[in-house]
Structure formats: structure tokens, C-alpha cells
Amino acid sequence: MQIYSKLPDVGTTIFTVMSQLAIEHNAVNLGQGFPDFMMSEELTGLVDEAMKKGFNQYTHMNGFPLLRERLAEKIGKLYQTPVHPDTEITITPGGTYAIYTALTTVLEPGDEVIVFEPAYDSYIPNIEINGAVPIRISLQYPDYSIPWEEVKAKVNSRTRMIMINSPHNPTGSVLSEHDMQQLKQVVAGTNIIILSDEVYEHLVFDGIQHQSILRYPELLERSFVCFSFGKTYHCTGWKLGYCISPASLMKEFRKVHQFNCFSCDTPKQVALAAYLQNEAAYLSLGAFIQQKRDYFRQLMKATPFECIPSHGSYFECYSYAGISEESDKDFAIRLTKEYGIATIPVSAFHKNGKDDKVIRFCFAKKEETLEKAVEKLVTLK
Ligand code: PMP
Ligand code: GLN
């Protein structure tokens, strides 16, 4: 029997590869994006309570109703945007699933999707498995901004979607109001749908305002906006998120969702519905994680790495061009094996492996973890 791969060029994700290598070499893992500190005990207590109260069976296919109501309230307060909990919000098993489902809902073979690189690793395989064509545009090194003139030149009648991600993984760059105005111009008068990956919604630093699609009704009317509770509440292993879109698009999204996941973890949704009333818990996140970025950045000054400043997310990128000529993959592997620090080579976020000699560090860690990592990095030769 012959097996045809639908994704012949795809191997194991870099996050799994580097985490595995970190385990094998007992390295400090600043690669894969997950916190090493405890999540809120209040929230884990609420899950326990929900299970004990008997919330252990399937909940509504679109998500636990009270959770959707509370999300709509939160969005109304944060972004002054009315979102209907019955028709415009669906709870999903994580942000990645929401992205995949949105792409699968819309894409037909041959459709073009504009995607900016470096791009989160699931985007391009998710486009390709739907028979669509990724149109890759490089963000401008070193500030990783969007080259809007190139975007305008690449939009044509086959362009079905544009994917954006702010705060951005892996670079920590954020979109500005100017970017949103440019996006408006690009899509005006077209049928282009936007997919906005906002899983780091609350992890924005330096007093910058998060430019959510939810602030722009003219963009929201043609968008799927994807979020992750895992990133917001420091529980990436929960794999719970949600998607917001206008009712007409959401109706189609749910047709795909209902035969794939159908409904998500009930007790966690019950707990999140209660926890969302604690506004301080999400409003304080940016400052909390920024402190970690600042601490890490300060420590890194003692090393020969050159910082490419992050303004959001769990990540900061550093150039090692002044240290080594190795490829970023070889360098990251050597750092893990010889120095005991796992990172992510940024070429893994480029389909053609573009290598700017940059690696990504996850700073969403305890201070002692960051100290332990940098102690090793200062000895780098
Ligand atoms: N998008 C980006 C940019 C991410 O970094 C992540 C984090 N893993 C996701 C989506 C997916 O989130 P989740 O773990 O909820 O699937
Ligand atoms: N989002 C996480 C990161 O960028 C990893 C998620 C995964 O392992 N697929 O590091």
C-alpha cells in the first residue's frame, strides 16, 4: 500500500524538537513558550469546584453559555465593541484549533493567503492542507514591521485571506494604529477575510495599546479573531481558547467545528466564566510579564547577544551575528548541548529557512530560571 503525505515537506515542530533536546541535555528550556511558574490557585480551585458540582458532561457546542456572556461583557468594556455571545463567539480547544478551523471554513483549493514571515509554525501547513497557497511576505528586519507597499502589490483577485498576529510570535513586535489603517485600505472593496491571531492580547508592554481587530468595526465585519486562555492565564496545557467573528462567518465556522471537536472541556469553561469577573487578573498581566522581559533584558546585557526589542508576547529575539557564523539551527543545538540553554532558531518560522542569525528566548519564567540561563550564556565563546 502506498501512503501519500498531504504535508510532504513537514517534519516535527521546532518546539517539540527543542524541548526534547532540552530534556536530553538537562538544559534550561527558554525555547517552547510556556511559563514555569504556577498559574492562579483561585482558578484551579474554581475548576475543582466545578467538577465537584457535577459540571462534567458535554456543555453547549458553541461553549458554556455563561463563559460566552462574560467574554462579551469583557470585550464590550475593553474594546467598546458589541459582540453577541450566542452568534459571534465560539469556545475552542486552544488558539491553534481556532486558527485551523477559521482557515478550513473559508479556503478553497487555489485561494491565496497572505502570511507574514517569520510566521507561527502552524499557519503555512494549515493553509496548504486546505489546498490553498501561502503568499509569503517577509517582515522588515530588524523591527519586523509590515511592508505595506508589498502587500498592496501582492493582493489580487485570488487573495482570499490575510493573516496577522499581534503581539507577534516569535519577534514580540506589535501592530500600530497606522498598520490597522493600512490594513483597512488594503481590504476595502474586496472579499478578503482577515484572520487575526491575538493570543497574546494582554501581554503588551511599554504602555502600548493593543490594536485588536475588535477596536475596528470595519475590519471586524470580515474577520476571525483568535484567542487563547492558555496564554492569558499561564496554563498552556489547558488548550482552551475562543474565536470571535461576525455571525455570518461564525455560522460557517461552527459547521466545521461541530464535526471536529464539537464541545470543549466543561469544568474549565465553568471556572473561567467565574474567573473572568476578576478584571484585575487580566489587566495586570502586561505589567507582570513586562517585569520578566525587563529583568531578562537586563541580565542579557552581560552577554554578547544583541537584543531585538520585544514589545509584547512571551518572547524576545536576540542576534548572535557578532558571536558565530553558524546557522541558527546549528547554533541553537550547540547552545543546548554545550551550554545547557534551549532556544528556538527563528529560521524555523520561515518556509524557506531564511536565517538572519537570530534566536528566540521565552522569558515567561521564574527569575531564578532566567538567572540560571544567563549565568551559562555569559560564558559563551
Ligand atoms: N498563535 C500563536 C502566535 C501562538 O504563539 C500560540 C501559542 N502556542 C498559539 C497561536 C496557540 O495557542 P494554543 O496553545 O491555545 O493553541
Ligand atoms: N506557542 C508556543 C511557542 O511558540 C508553542 C506551541 C507548540 O509547541 N506548538 O513556543
The answer to whether the bond into 142 is cis (omega within 30° of 0) is yes
Cα 189 to ligand 2 centre (Å):
35
Q: Which amino acid is at 96?
A: T
Q: What is the pLDDT of residue 78?
A: 96
Banded model confidence at residue 36, pLDDT cuts 50, 70, 90: very high
pLDDT, tens only, 247-276: 999 999 999 999 999 999 999 999 999 999
What are the tens digits of pLDDT across the range 192-228?
A: 999 999 999 999 999 999 999 999 999 999 999 999 9
Mean pLDDT of 273-296: 96
pTM for this prediction: 0.97
Per-residue pLDDT at 84 = 98
In testing the pocket of ligand 1, which one of 15, 120, 224 has its CB within 8 Å of the most ligand atoms? 120
| pLDDT at position 72 | 98
Q: Which residues line ligand 1 (CB under 6 A)?
A: 33, 94-96, 120, 165, 169, 197, 199, 228, 230, 236, 239, 241
Q: Name the least confident of 3-7, 125-129, 203-207, 270-274.
A: 3-7
**Would you place residue 350 in the very low, low, confident or very high pLDDT band (cuts 50, 70, 90)?**
very high
Question: Would you say the CB of residue 13 lies under 6 angstroms from ligand 2?
Answer: yes
Alpha-carbon span 258 to 376, nearest angstrom: 49
Taking residue 338's Cβ as centre, other Cβ atoms within 10 Å add up to 13
| Cα angle 88, 94, 95; round to 5 | 70
Contact predicate 343/320, CB 8 Å: no
**Each residue of 292-327: pLDDT tens digit?**
999 999 999 999 999 999 999 999 999 999 999 999
Q: Would you state the pLDDT for residue 381?
A: 72
Let me know how many helices (H) and strands (E) the chain has, helices first.
15, 13
Contact 185, 59 (CB under 8 A): no
To the nearest whole number, what is the mean pLDDT of the chain?
A: 96
Ligand 2 centre distance from Cα of residue 357 (Å):
20
pLDDT at 171 exceeding the cut of 90: yes
What confidence category does residue 142 fall into, taking pLDDT thresholds of 50, 70 and 90?
Answer: confident
Does the beta carbon of 169 sit less than 6 angstroms from any atom of ligand 2?
yes
Average confidence (pLDDT) over 168-179 = 98
pLDDT score at 154: 98
CA angle, corner 257, sides to 253 and 260, nearest 5? 150
How far, in whole angstroms, is CA 202 from its chain's centroid? Answer: 12
Assigned C-alpha cell, 328: 541558527
Closest residue to atom 12 of ligand 1, CA basis: 95
**Could you report the per-residue pLDDT of 228-247, keeping only the tens digit for each?**
999 999 999 999 999 999 99
20 Cβ closer than 6 Å to some ligand 2 atom: no
pLDDT at 9 over 90: no
Across 145-162, average pLDDT:
98
The reported pLDDT for the residue numbered 147 is 98
Q: How many residues does the chain have?
A: 381
Ligand nearest the Cα atom of residue 17:
2
Residues facing 140 on adjacent strands? 145
